[in-house]
Amino acid sequence: MVSYIDQIFAFLVIVIIVTALGLMYKSWLEKRQGGKDTVKKKDEIISNMLKKRVGDYISDFAGKNLEDIANVLAKDYSLLTRNSPYRIDGDKDGLNFIQKAMEEAAGQTIFDQKLTMINSDAAVVTFNWQRGSNSGKTSHVWRYVDGKGWELVHEHTSFNMPAQMDVNHLIGNTVKQSIENVVDKLKEISDKS
């Protein structure tokens, strides 16, 4: 026969075990949530590092600081351009092209900059720019490398079409001019008859 004290003791053991399991579960949940917070903080730090690196790159470009730009370019850097050779591969050839672009970019203004983190080690940065009468859009693909930081892997720049070269306007004028030419020719033929 189980005594009253044995029943109380068994009940207390069960309460202690359930309490211990509950505390262990609470600790596990806190660690799990803390892990999410740690990842979030790490991502925020990495994102801020990229913002600084992009800002430095833009300043170095405007200041024609080739040495610092060379330190940012990845060895497998690639660049798409609007002129031949259209695609440039490698940091050395890319740096040569960037040097020429710097000379054309005096007084460049950058606006509408957007940073999109793809994951903790890849991001895309886009921005619009204005240089005198030229304007366009640039996209950068950045990669995070442990021990080195953010490096520029790919760049693409598109130029906006100048207002005086609006294709729709040109086509409209061409069609209008053609119609006027046909009408004039018909009038000439009609007048001769």
pLDDT at 178: 62
pLDDT of residue 141 exceeding 90: yes
CA 74 to chain centre: 16
The span from the CA of 6 to the CA of 12, in Å, is 10
Residue 172's contacts (CB-CB under 8 Å, 6 or more residues apart) are: none
pLDDT digits (tens, 9 = 90+) for 99-135: 888 887 777 889 999 999 998 889 999 999 888 778 8
**Taking a C-beta distance cutoff of 8 angstroms, is the pair 157, 81 a contact?**
yes
CA 182 to chain centre: 51
pLDDT at 182: 66
**What CATH number is given for 35-168 in this structure?**
3.10.450.50
Residue 76's contacts (CB-CB under 8 Å, 6 or more residues apart) are: 89, 90, 91, 153
pLDDT at 166: 53
pLDDT of residue 39 exceeding 60: yes
pLDDT of residue 165 exceeding 70: no
The span from the CA of 50 to the CA of 151, in Å, is 9
